[in-house]
Chain A
Amino acid sequence: MALAAKSNGTQSLDDSIQRTKILLLGQQGSGKTSIQQFLFNDVPAKQTFFLEPTSRTTKHPYDTVIPLEIWDCPGNITLDSLGATLSEFSSIIFVIDIQDSYQQPIARMLDFFVAAYQENPAATLEVFVHKAESLAEDYKIENFRHIQQRVIDELFDTSQEYEQMPVNFHLTSVYDHSIREAFSRVLHKLIDSLPYLEDLLNVFCSNSQASKAFLFDVKSRLYVATDESPVDASTHSLCCDYVRTLNAFGPLYKSASVNQDSRLFYPSAAVTLAQGATLTYHLITPQLALLAMLHPGVFEERRGLLEYNVVFFREGVQEIAVVERDARAGNL
């Protein structure tokens, strides 16, 4: 067990651990691969236009707070050709192009959702109404509502027992931060330890006079947890951009001639804004970083205290990560 904790530093994509599976479904060209590549491979939004259609199901492993496996399917996949039972998946995401005619996609989606619901009622069912950037503001909300209503009506028509089926809707686009926000929310439902992480963040916020704190996955820039105050879109996008800037800055001034032991080093950064508020960044585990929006003056005057709190927070998160890993490896 102690050895497992040590190997935390490397992003080992170990096959033996049990991964949480997410299934990406949708018509051909609805943007499934774009979403996957944009989030996890840092493909710029503009480049997603050039992606080839997916011809067979690809599995993308990704390690964050929990190990994920994202299944990217071709548009014409059926229940039989999937090659796995739906009960294996913790979350099923169906992507609909907002400009498409919805009749056919919704019919296919319901087939999948009904089958999944019967096999595993605990699976979360998500609908991404995608490519929202192509419509004007009023229009897209209207279309979004329309699709939502349509799905609920059809579910009700099929059978009354499906009325309670927990289907969540998200309006998304790769050209702003809405896809990150939506995928973050999907991810939250899959993290068993989420309440503990949130508790830690709440304690951190109240003790460090932070108005908002996020725990971000550094590479994909999804947030895995946040404190109890509501998420406001502009703070979220600032945090996303901030992490992106830091990621890009690293290699920019990297010097090949200076070598140092980085094993025990946790990077940190801080942006000071005009009114004195500070947005801080502290790496917590190799994958996760804590971003906190601090009230004016706190960073200058009580930095020691802040860093002390960060150390405690880090220990807490790392303990949770160890338990999580052991559970998945079957040691518990």
Chain B
Amino acid sequence: MGASGSGKTSMRSLIFSNNPASLTSRLGATIDVEQNHVRFLGDLILNLWDCGGQDAFMDSYLSTQRSTIFQHVGVLIYVFEVSTHDAVKDAAYYRDCLDALQRYSPEAAVFLLVHKMDLVAGDRAALLERRTRELQGESGTVPITVFGTSIHDETLYKAWSRIVHTIIPNAAVLSKHLTTFAQACSATEAILFERTTFLVIATSSPPDEAHPEQVNNDLSPTRYERTSELIKALKHSCARMREEFHALEMELPEFTAVLDGMTRNTYILLIVHDPTIETAALKINIRLARPKFEELQTDSVLA
């Protein structure tokens, strides 16, 4: 949800339909609610409600359709445009939505995206912090998570990776197995991506909530999102050649990496800093681990 023109459909098209950012300008306004069933991780079906943001629609969501819209909501993603025209109206609608959500689906997680950050000149971090405080004030006691995002860089992947992370039932189990697997491969890190969206599902050594900067603090903090973005761009170039991206392996001076399909709908990226480890060995390990992860994933979706 969010105000008209804030970028909800652009975002959806970028993440779930694999359209490049440059094409989003061609999208028209969303009329009423567009419902999408997105197959995520094969069997987990996300029911994505993209709600048109024009005032007339917003009014009807909050009055006549109130119970339909806000019933059984797992995650509310509310998009704010960073340089909004009418902050007061935005805030009013947001509060109203939040009230409705509290009444019909109090369990839902709330994510707020401060979108179109690429249009901000100057200090983005300070601005985001100010907006976060404002939004926290608006939300009262409801726990919220705020992200600054833009479709032109990796921040969008970061936000969505966190969002899907809350939806996947047993992400913790996956992380645990990934950590074991990473150790078996002498890998510094193992990262599991969803196949179509390339969002991060789970990582080995999940960052410690209390001290996120202490884990692997010498690796770039935005690496997961950048990887999603880079691989997606590469997949695009392959698609232009009517080829399909399958696997990637590299031996660079800094590290060795293998990216390969893990299960039917995930990719795994292994990062190894030990120069004596060969990519072929990593590939065999991945092949051998496939059945186990396939099983894990089926469990996780059925659970």
Contact = CB atoms under 8 A, between A and B. Distances in A.
Interface residues of A, number: 33
Interface residues of chain B: helix, strand, loop or mixed (majority): mixed
Interface stretch (B75-83, B88-96, B253-261): B253-261
A265 B257 CA distance: 16
Given A267-B250, A269-B251, A273-B245, A252 B223 contact: yes
Nearest to B240: A234
Which 10 A-B pairs have CB atoms at the shortest separation, nearest pair first?
A274-B244, A269-B250, A241-B237, A256-B218, A262-B253, A272-B247, A272-B246, A273-B243, A254-B254, A234-B241
Interface stretch (B52-60, B171-179, B204-212, B226-234): B226-234
A248 B254 contact: no
A271 interface: yes
A250 B243 contact: no
Contacts of B227: 249, 252
A237 B247 contact: no
Contacts of A254: 219-220, 254-255
A249 B243 contact: no
A242 B238 CA distance: 9
Contacts of B144: none
B99 interface: no
A251 B220 contact: yes
Contacts of A253: 188-189, 219-220, 223, 254-255, 257, 271
Given A255-B188, A272-B247, A274-B243, 9 more contacts: A234-B240, A238-B240, A249-B257, A253-B188, A254-B254, A255-B255, A260-B253, A268-B250, A273-B245
Contacts of A265: 253, 275
Interface string A29-67: 000000000000000000000000000000000000000
15 contacts: A235-B241, A238-B237, A241-B233, A249-B227, A249-B230, A249-B250, A250-B253, A250-B254, A255-B254, A258-B254, A270-B250, A271-B247, A271-B248, A273-B246, A274-B246
Given A234-B241, A253-B257, A248 B273 contact: no
Contacts of B237: 237-238, 241-242
A81 interface: no
A268 B247 CA distance: 14
Given A252-B223, A255-B218, A256-B218, A246 B243 contact: no
A275 interface: yes
A8 to B, nearest CB: 16
A281 B252 CA distance: 11
A264 to B, nearest CB: 10
Contact of A267 (B238, B240, B244, B251): B251
Given A245-B233, A248-B230, A260-B275, A269 B252 contact: yes
Contacts of A248: 226, 230
Nearest to B231: A245
A291 B166 CA distance: 41
A238 B219 contact: no
Contacts of B257: 249, 253
A250 B253 CA distance: 8
A49 B44 CA distance: 44
Given A237-B240, A274-B243, A268 B226 contact: no
Given A241-B233, A254-B255, A271-B245, A246 B250 contact: yes
A191 to B, nearest CB: 27
B50 interface: no
B129 to A, nearest CB: 26
Contacts of A268: 250-251
A258 B249 CA distance: 20
B215 to A, nearest CB: 13
A277 interface: yes
A245 B230 contact: yes
B245 A250 contact: no
Nearest to B252: A267
A257 interface: yes
A287 B122 CA distance: 35
B226 to A, nearest CB: 6
Contacts of B233: 241, 245
Contacts of B226: 248, 252
B248 A250 contact: no
B273 to A, nearest CB: 4
Nearest to A277: B243
Contacts of A252: 220, 223, 226-227, 230
Contacts of B244: 273-275
Contacts of B254: 250-251, 253-255, 258
Contacts of A270: 248-250
Given A250-B254, A265-B253, A274-B244, A257 B218 contact: yes
Nearest to B216: A255
Among A251, A253, A275, max chain B CB count under 10 A is at: A253
A274 B244 CA distance: 5
Contact of A269 (B218, B236, B249): B249
A274 B242 CA distance: 10
B270 to A, nearest CB: 10
